[in-house]
Structure 1
Amino acid sequence: MLLLNDVKRILTDMFRTELARKKADALAVFDENSQADFFERVPQDILKTVSDKAAIFFGYEPRVFSSLDLMTDYAYAAFLHGRKLTFLTSGSTGTPKRCIHTLAMIEEEAYGVAPDFKGVKRVVSLVPSNHMYGFTFTVTLPHALNVPALVLPALPTQPWSDILQEGDLIAGFPLFWNYWVRLENPFPKGVHAMSSTAPCKKEIIDALYSLGASQFTEIYGASETGAIARRHHSTDAFELFPFWDVSLTDDQPQIKRKSQNSWLTLPDEVETTQGRFLIPIKRSDACVQVAGINVFPKRVEEVLAAHPAVKACRVRLMRPEEGERLKAFIVLNEGYTQEHLGIIRTYLAQRLTVHELPRTFTFGSELPVSAMGKDADW
């Protein structure tokens, strides 16, 4: 279910993820024409971070390797010995949670989702394989279907009419599909589209069908659980995959894998219909999603509030008409003015990921509240 080349791809995606997070020059690092070894081109802080995360993911004590090939061999041997992988909650801005998936769970999920994709001849991956969605649907699903996987950068402007072929399944994410729709890219005949990591808007799903998608599948899941449910149309509820049982005895339904005994709480508050169908209402863990990455506004508030210029602040997700990033409202301490925004931005950029950084800043003499004294939007 997991081959040596899969492990190398996962490790490479870990490096790409960290390079993007630190805004480093990924092109220079992955320059195949360079005479220097790959590890010699990776910044040392990123090499240390990836080494630590890889040790957690594959289940071995952290250690230093002299090359990517040696790291791949060691990680693969650790997986074969431990027969499990440990995913970290994707993009979480507190302490990342460790989510263990045994080989039995990995196989159960891969073969459990496979019947939904009969007729797929190739998986086209636009997502990192070191996160749960990318791992399940672009690493293990191709093995379950016995089809190849084509890994491409998530660039909507590529010559898709030349790349895609009948029977392709494109594993994308909402922000990518938003740009696909803006560019009005047509789908060749018989091409399936898939999305996860964040809710896909109704108008985007409908537009993908209008542009010729043979089928659209939206995956609902989490790092803790893996894939939970799927739907194919914007008006559909999500249907649980067949390897899940559901309990409706509590206020909020619980689920458990049919192969296990423990019941799990869903990551969202949901409405249920017809037993195995659910509609997510809102996140249960106070996080929002920015470009498919989970972000905790309260954590961003804490970092912003620690700056000496800030007396009080609020951070929240923009309204749909404003954009798809975070925004901040700041009450300044005496002696500071809006001209200090550049200093505040620099301070935040040194402490937050690119997805956590507020895109817009509003200043006022007091925080916005409603007539009842509750926090209000601005």
Structure 2
Amino acid sequence: MHNAAQLVWGHADSGPERLALRVGDESWSFDELRRSIAWAMVELEGRGIGRGDRVLVVVPTSAEFVIAYHAILALGATAVTVNTLCTEPELAYFIEDAECSYAIGWDETEDAVKAAASAARLGLWILSAGCMGTADEIPELADVAGDDASVLLYTSGTTGRPKGAVLTHDNLTSCGAAFNEALDLSSDERMGTALPLFHVFGQAAVMFSTYHAGGCLSLLRPFDAAALLEMAAEHRLTAMSGVPTMWNAMLHAETDVTADDLADLRLASSGGAALPLEVALAFERRFGAMVLDGYGLSETTGAATFNQADRPRKDMSVGRALPGMEITVLDEAREPVPVGETGEVAIAGPVVMREYWNRPDATSDARHGRWLLTGDIGRMDEDGDLWIVDRKKDLVIRGGYNVYPREVEEVLYAHPDILEAAVIGVPDEHLGEEIAAVVTPRPGATLDPAELRGWLGERLAAYKVPRIYKLVEELPKGATGKILKRALNRSEVSTTGARPARSSKTP
């Protein structure tokens, strides 16, 4: 049986009373979780969802996400999981591009998905906390092939619109298996996170690793540093996962939780961006658990490399290849570079996506034989430890969220008073990188950064909206007229740009 939902089904058979999920004061055993998933399967079938359908899922981290997501996979359909902060135009694009036949939303953020689904004439199910029932009978899982699509995750480069990485049922289970072997996980594991489950890190690396082991997943939303530490103590977590900004926030949290309260915590895993070694060491000094980080992409089901506790930690390294994975560094001719030299990181293994949805050219461009070309520049040492030193793409990683400048620039160019625009990442002590927009107004026009930010906020998810704005008479250009972002002084932009007040929606 290749269906990725089989993990829950199997544990419900072998250990039905073991805890599978905890959210606040509520908990579900594996038997109860399977019965809730079964109930959602029947509900979705009644709404016309079946094998091969693609379902847009605009739901935050919650028990309802876990249940609905597994129900979609159990039916042999494909979950198209996207950020709950997406605007109506963004959701409309995902619906059209993925050819979705149905949508699922959340009552707290339902306006955008309601409008997008209505415009596309899609059926819509709005979930709310506690809305799921339980089934008396357990339906059979859809008999899918290992390379059948299970999830469509949208990602983007510096050109074009976001493209959907097709992850298969085998991709998800292989991700869970790799982390289980690398981290020596067991059915006694109690994993906690405040990560968004619509993102590959929380969805694949955390949820599927936990359920591959048969452990219990504790969820918190929204992220609050003190609350996550308190949940870790109350639930006696053995493992926690987060992005670097979360560990830094917990390190400086005002809380009574001590290392003694976290005596069960043996593993703290970080991803989304490189974690400074000093932050990891300081967290261990305060709370007793060493934070280990790794590297992965949406296209590799969130898995590629990871640091391990039994190996020396090297500052800013993202560790070695996970079990079953292969990593190499290639030069411009697609030949391996000597140890220690930089080149493009390439990945091979059972976690690599099947394809980009309906984009054969993009799929071909991302492949070199069995290798997936990541677009990231890195180097490896003689031990096989990897460092990510740069990005060929202009990707900005803001607090663990991927922001693609071209997408933001395309929206900026639609503003009637903007002549030219360049979006870049600038260093930020709290978030790792902050988003800055350097713009040239049209002749005679006046731009107010606060008004521009509000205008963008109506068209982009909040985490994509620049927080720094610098107005210039002209952007630097090369001989062909191409804007040269590398000629922009990022430190100057960071210190002289205008910063409108932060939004309450900022992730």
TM-score range, shorter chain: 0.7 to 0.9
The answer for the alignment partner of 1:217 in structure 2 is: 292
Aligned residues: 351
Residue 371 of structure 2 corresponds to residue 263 of structure 1: yes
1:280 corresponds, among 384, 388, 398, to: 388
Tell me the CA shift for residue 308 of structure 1: 2.5
User: Which structure 2 residue ranges, 5 or more long, are not aligned?
Assistant: 9-33, 41-63, 70-78, 89-104, 330-334, 338-343, 353-368, 479-483, 493-507
Cα-to-partner distance string for 1:175-219 (whole Å, 9 max, x where unaligned): 212211222654422412111122223332222222234232212
Is the CA contact 1:87–1:100 (under 8 Å) kept in the aligned structure 2? Answer: yes
The answer for the alignment partner of 1:112 in structure 2 is: 178
**What's the secondary structure of 1:355's corresponding residue?**
helix
Is the CA contact 2:270–2:292 (under 8 Å) kept in the aligned structure 1? Answer: yes
1:238 corresponds, among 319, 333, 339, to: 319
1:180 corresponds, among 250, 266, 279, to: 250
**What's the secondary structure of 2:272's corresponding residue?**
coil
Taking the aligned partners of 2:351 and 2:226, their CA distance within structure 1 comes to: 43
The answer for the alignment partner of 1:327 in structure 2 is: 436
1:144 corresponds, among 205, 212, 235, to: 212
TM-score, normalized by length of structure 1? 0.76
Residue 210 of structure 2 corresponds to residue 134 of structure 1: no
Rate the CA distance shift 1:180–1:348 in 2: closer, same or farther, 3 A.
same
Tell me the CA shift for residue 149 of structure 1: 0.9
**What's the secondary structure of 2:161's corresponding residue?**
coil
Residue 491 of structure 2 corresponds to residue 375 of structure 1: no
AA matched with 1:43: E
TM-score, normalized by length of structure 2? 0.59
Taking the aligned partners of 1:310 and 1:241, their CA distance within structure 2 comes to: 46
Cα-to-partner distance string for 1:338-363 (whole Å, 9 max, x where unaligned): 5x444423322222221221112222
AA matched with 1:116: A
**What's the secondary structure of 1:250's corresponding residue?**
coil
Cα-to-partner distance string for 1:68-97 (whole Å, 9 max, x where unaligned): 579999xx9886546541231358795332
Is the CA contact 1:256–1:262 (under 8 Å) kept in the aligned structure 2? Answer: yes
Rate the CA distance shift 1:274–1:87 in 2: closer, same or farther, 3 A.
farther
Taking the aligned partners of 1:97 and 1:72, their CA distance within structure 2 comes to: 36
**What's the secondary structure of 1:334's corresponding residue?**
coil
Taking the aligned partners of 1:321 and 1:159, their CA distance within structure 2 comes to: 21
**What's the secondary structure of 1:177's corresponding residue?**
helix
The answer for the alignment partner of 1:43 in structure 2 is: 110
Cα-to-partner distance string for 1:106-149 (whole Å, 9 max, x where unaligned): 22221221023336620112112232211223322122222111
Task: Name the stretch that deviates more: 324-333 or 40-49.
Answer: 40-49
Rate the CA distance shift 1:103–1:147 in 2: closer, same or farther, 3 A.
same
AA matched with 1:160: L
Residue 269 of structure 2 corresponds to residue 194 of structure 1: yes
Is the CA contact 1:92–1:294 (under 8 Å) kept in the aligned structure 2? Answer: no
The answer for the alignment partner of 1:160 in structure 2 is: 229
Taking the aligned partners of 2:351 and 2:406, their CA distance within structure 1 comes to: 37
Taking the aligned partners of 1:167 and 1:273, their CA distance within structure 2 comes to: 34
**What's the secondary structure of 2:175's corresponding residue?**
helix
AA matched with 2:348: K
Taking the aligned partners of 2:230 and 2:450, their CA distance within structure 1 comes to: 44
Taking the aligned partners of 1:299 and 1:218, their CA distance within structure 2 comes to: 28
Is the CA contact 1:65–1:71 (under 8 Å) kept in the aligned structure 2? Answer: no
Taking the aligned partners of 1:180 and 1:218, their CA distance within structure 2 comes to: 16
Taking the aligned partners of 2:154 and 2:198, their CA distance within structure 1 comes to: 11
Identity of aligned residues (%): 19
Is the CA contact 1:86–1:98 (under 8 Å) kept in the aligned structure 2? Answer: no
Taking the aligned partners of 2:214 and 2:373, their CA distance within structure 1 comes to: 33
The answer for the alignment partner of 1:9 in structure 2 is: 65
Taking the aligned partners of 1:116 and 1:51, their CA distance within structure 2 comes to: 45
Taking the aligned partners of 1:319 and 1:276, their CA distance within structure 2 comes to: 28
Taking the aligned partners of 2:122 and 2:405, their CA distance within structure 1 comes to: 34
The answer for the alignment partner of 1:29 in structure 2 is: none
**What's the secondary structure of 1:313's corresponding residue?**
strand
**What's the secondary structure of 2:428's corresponding residue?**
coil
User: Which structure 1 residue ranges, 5 or more long, are not aligned?
Assistant: 24-37, 53-61
AA matched with 2:439: I
Tell me the CA shift for residue 223 of structure 1: 0.8
Tell me the CA shift for residue 336 of structure 1: 2.2
AA matched with 1:174: P
**What's the secondary structure of 2:227's corresponding residue?**
coil
Tell me the CA shift for residue 222 of structure 1: 0.5
Taking the aligned partners of 1:289 and 1:266, their CA distance within structure 2 comes to: 15
Is the CA contact 2:85–2:461 (under 8 Å) kept in the aligned structure 1? Answer: no
AA matched with 1:87: L
